[in-house]
Amino acid sequence: MIARSPCQRISRRASIWIQATRPKSFAATLAPLALGLALAWRDGRFNLLTAALTLLGAMLLQAGANLLNDYMDHRAGADSSASLSPSRVIQDGLLAPRQVLIGAWVCLGAGALLGVALAWIGGWAVWLIGAIGVLIAVLYTAGPAPLAWRGLGEIAVFVAMGPGIVAGAYAVQTQAVTPGVLLAATPLGLLVTAILHANNLRDLDSDRLAGKRTLATRLGRRGAQIEYAALMAGAFVAALAAIALDELPPAALAVCVLLPSASQLVRTAGATTHAADLNRVLRQTGALHLKFGVLLAASVVIWAWAFSG
């Protein structure tokens, strides 16, 4: 065995914890945050410090939720050594389950503390949105009736990581939330739900064996494939509705360039049962969600800048 220096050991340990928090999944938080901040900037309210703190708080909450999800799924037997779990730190023996649980509570606690600080700035709307977000993060896989195990995971993710994050980022800047902001957030909510559903579609057989009653296991494979297609199509329809109602600018039609990629993902998800293929669908759905969010946020900023004054 090659001896490692203290710096190498620290670096190795840090890389394991980074792996455990699933940093690639943070894009699902970045997209709605970018849209919420862009909408606030359009409406004449933007502070860089509070934006950075909002980003950090959201990342901590997502990291904590990811860690808690891995711990609870491992304890319940939903993640085995053969599963395609995103982090695999428990399955590969890189971290003990108890370490992952402690890390989850540390991240959730730090995120909640930041949320309290931001709530003093953003007012009642941020208090409400933050409380709902923390509650969903904890109850998603913990508690006597985990949402993810009762077919409610999609609803929870839609609320927390779609309208919840967009409205939260907007409220911290503006101290208010409008129905228009929630409508503008709906496309991203549907797409982030599609990411979760792609994950559940991939894990359908193993979840069924473990007794995990996700919406995919309840609907069956064909029903789950149809739901994935509906979520993907719904995101584009919701974007068009927000544009028609003047909650998103005409420039947001740029998201239509992603239609061919979305169509290909729907075809692939509907034509295969292989976990490796569905894992690619999962990754590519996440990438499409990020591109969609960037295009929406950029369209809001560019349109507002071009036509201001």
The CATH number assigned to the domain with range 24-307 reads: 1.10.600
Per-domain residue ranges for the chain? 24-307
pLDDT at 19: 82
All residue ranges of the chain with pLDDT < 70 are: 1-4, 76-87, 141-144, 309
Global pTM reads: 0.85
Give burial (CB, 10 Å; 0-12/13-18/19+) of 276.
exposed
pLDDT in tens, 159-197: 988 999 999 999 999 988 899 999 999 999 999 999 999
